[in-house]
Amino acid sequence: MLVFLFLLGLALGAVSPSEELVVEPQQNSCPSFWSIFNGRCYKYIATHLTWADAELLCVSLGGNLVSIRSQEEENFVKTLIKNFDPAQGSAWIGLSDIHKEGTWMWSDGCAAKFSHGVQESQTTIEEGKTVA
């Protein structure tokens, strides 16, 4: 199973070949079968869940839906998804305005500073796969 949930039905475009990253599970600082990037652990779960259920799953695993803080991290997450799901279907991220309409924040409590590819007017929540 893989854990990374992407909110708002984020359209994940392909990473250009020159930007492709090699995503390999590392066992030295993350649990088995998780991947590491900039000191944070990631897992993609190919299971259809609602955003809320996906977040709960991530919390049960000791994390949250992915919070994307940079273009490099976005590219890493896209590559992680591509490695496990070549069709690159939709997935959830932790970005939400669930607490206050129009005020976006990540499910881990961080303010939304990086929003490349996220349309703030998009509030429809669709079922997707999970990234933690």
Write down all domains in the chain, each with its CATH number in brackets. Answer: 7-13+22-131 (3.10.100.10)
Burial class (CB in 10 A: 0-12, 13-18, 19+), 7: buried
For residue 32, give Cα distances in angstroms to 35, 41, 42, 43, 70: 8, 10, 11, 10, 25
| Two structure tokens written together for 99 | 């607490």
State pLDDT tens for residues 60-74: 999 999 999 899 999
* pLDDT exceeds 60 at position 117: no
0.95 exceeded by the pTM? no
